[in-house]
């Protein structure tokens, strides 16, 4: 019996799952962290552990997996947490100020509460550590970029890695030979080019703001828009940051961040909502088309996450304009694939590029990586080495 606790700590809430052999034994959310009832992450985790002890129990717990958003270039694989790893995560907080600090608080709390259980940090950026320099480098002076850690890092890596492995199995191709374009489309959204099982480009960059139009994020825009808003609208840096991250995307275009709500309004004749969906789909189409060029011989286009798995009309809007590139959708199979529990093909089988809807499960992926790292699978041994601890220099 090898149980793994998976923890995803946010600034005001904490999600957790207890898993064993691929099954979810228990899950929960502790909210209102910072309130008198739950003053900090230690209190939230104490409450979560008490609930687990009263339920399935923690007997057989072999490790805890913590989702950590930003690993920079210091962490390119899961890391067994020690004081040096804690310090490395903290040093990267300037690159993910909303995410790394609460996640680090969760790590520190559980190291105190479960001192004999290995703690493993699993980084959203790690899967993208294989992106080559020509895709990771921004065209600014390299000395400045190195000093401040400015480069493409990419995010949603845990999800992209999970669906890469599942898609390879569906296709009957070894992971080391699979070539994909994977689309993680939820409130946050990103596209990744996968060549021979490795990420070689991705739409998110230094932060999760770059790339696709998302629920509340603008995605790509001319950087001069920022200067223009500062000069002409009297906005300061904090105003523009809030605008582009929290008041743009679908929310900015249509007043709603939920694709389902925007689609209902568009179907009812709301032109603003219709335009928002057109912009949303067009940006996704551009990235998919670009990554079909980046990865010659793509075997499948993969849709995952909340919108990708459930919105057949978005998949149709993208795939119907890629027929000249070998993407041929089966309309009936696509319409039927709404929230499938297992991977399903929605192409018509006549083209060189399959179209798959693959459910993501980031918690399962984190648990799997924890088991590999702590040596709880046949043939695995705990190890440290390059990419499993903090590096030196700028992240």
What is the pLDDT at residue 377? 56
What is the pLDDT at residue 375? 80
Distance CA 262, CA 232 (A): 30
- The correct CATH number of 3-123+366-374 out of 3.30.70.1730, 3.30.70.20, 3.30.420.40, 1.10.1200.10 is 3.30.420.40
Q: Domain-by-domain residue ranges, the chain?
A: 3-123+366-374, 174-360
What is the pLDDT at residue 376? 67
Distance CA 327, CA 215 (A): 26
Helix ranges restricted to H, the chain: 41-54, 83-91, 100-113, 133-136, 142-148, 157-171, 224-232, 237-246, 249-254, 259-267, 271-294, 305-310, 312-319, 331-336, 362-374
Does the fold of domain 174-360 match that of domain 3-123+366-374?
yes
Full pLDDT tens readout for the chain, 395 residues:
699 999 999 989 999 999 998 899 999 999 999 999 999 999 999 999 999 999 999 999 999 999 999 999 999 999 999 999 999 999 999 888 889 999 999 999 999 999 999 999 999 999 999 999 999 999 999 999 999 999 999 999 999 999 999 999 999 999 999 999 999 999 999 999 999 999 999 999 999 999 999 999 999 999 999 999 999 999 999 999 999 999 999 999 999 999 999 999 999 999 999 999 999 999 999 999 999 999 999 999 999 999 999 999 999 999 999 999 999 999 999 999 999 999 999 999 999 999 999 999 999 999 999 999 998 654 443 433 334 433 322 33
Q: Tokens standing for 7?
A: 């923890």
Rounded to 5°, the CA angle 91-6-207 comes to 40
For tokens 């850690």, name the residue: 149
Catalytic residue among 21, 40, 51, 124: 124
Q: Dihedral (C-alpha) 127, 340, 178, 362: value to the nearest 10 degrees?
A: 10
What is the pLDDT at residue 98? 84
Say whether 217 sits in a helix, a strand or coil: coil
Record: fold of 174-360: Nucleotidyltransferase; domain 5 (3.30.420)
**124 is an active site residue:** yes
Rounded to 5°, the CA angle 275-280-282 comes to 90
Residue 193 C-alpha from the chain's centroid: 14
Distance CA 121, CA 85 (A): 9
DSSP letters for 100-146: HHHHHHHHHHHHHHSTTS-EEEEETTGGGGG--HHHH--SS-HHHHH
Distance CA 190, CA 96 (A): 17
Other C-beta atoms closer than 10 Å to the C-beta of 292 total 19
Residues, the chain: 395
Distance CA 125, CA 69 (A): 7
The structure's pTM equals: 0.92
CB under 8 Å to 203, separation ≥6 — which residues?
Answer: 154, 189, 190, 191, 192, 210, 211, 212, 219, 287
What is the pLDDT at residue 386? 32
Say whether 356 sits in a helix, a strand or coil: strand
């Amino acid at each position: 019996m090898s149980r793994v606790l998976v923890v995803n700590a946010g600034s005001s809430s904490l999600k957790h799952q207890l898993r064993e052999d691929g099954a979810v034994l228990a899950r929960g959310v502790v909210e209102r962290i910072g309130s008198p009832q739950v003053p900090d992450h230690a209190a939230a985790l104490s409450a979560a552990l008490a609930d687990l002890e009263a339920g399935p129990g923690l007997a057989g717990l072999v490790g805890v997996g913590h989702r950590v958003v930003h690993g920079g270039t210091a962490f390119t694989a899961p890391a067994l947490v020690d004081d040096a790893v804690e310090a490395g995560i903290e040093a990267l907080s300037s690159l993910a100020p909303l995410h790394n600090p609460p996640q680090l608080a969760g790590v520190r709390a559980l190291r105190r509460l479960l001192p004999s259980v290995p703690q493993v940090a699993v980084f959203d950026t790690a899967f993208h550590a294989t992106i080559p320099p020509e895709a990771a480098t921004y065209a600014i002076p390299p000395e400045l970029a190195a000093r401040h850690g400015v480069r493409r890092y990419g995010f949603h890596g845990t999800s992209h890695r999970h669906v890469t492995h599942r898609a390879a199995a569906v296709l009957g191709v070894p992971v080391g030979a699979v070539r994909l374009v994977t689309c993680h489309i939820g409130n946050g959204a990103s596209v990744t080019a996968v060549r021979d099982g490795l990420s070689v480009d991705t739409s998110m960059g230094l932060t999760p703001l770059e790339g696709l139009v998302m629920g509340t994020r603008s995605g790509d825009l001319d950087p001069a828009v920022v200067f223009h808003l500062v000069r002409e609208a009297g906005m300061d840096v904090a105003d523009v940051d809030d605008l582009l991250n929290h008041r743009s995307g679908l929310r900015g275009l249509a007043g709603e961040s939920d694709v389902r709500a925007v689609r209902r309004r568009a179907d009812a004749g709301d032109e603003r909502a219709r335009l928002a969906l057109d912009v949303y789909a067009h940006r996704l189409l551009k990235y998919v088309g670009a990554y079909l060029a980046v990865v010659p011989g793509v075997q499948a286009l993969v849709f995952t996450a909340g919108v990708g798995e459930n919105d057949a009309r978005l998949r149709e809007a993208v795939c119907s304009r890629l027929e000249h590139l070998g993407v041929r959708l089966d309309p009936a199979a696509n319409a039927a694939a709404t929230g499938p529990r297992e991977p399903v093909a929605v192409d018509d089988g006549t083209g060189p590029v399959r179209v798959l809807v693959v459910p993501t499960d980031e918690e399962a992926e984190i648990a799997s990586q924890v088991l590999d790292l702590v040596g709880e699978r046949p043939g695995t041994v705990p190890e440290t080495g390059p990419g499993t601890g903090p590096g030196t220099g700028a992240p």
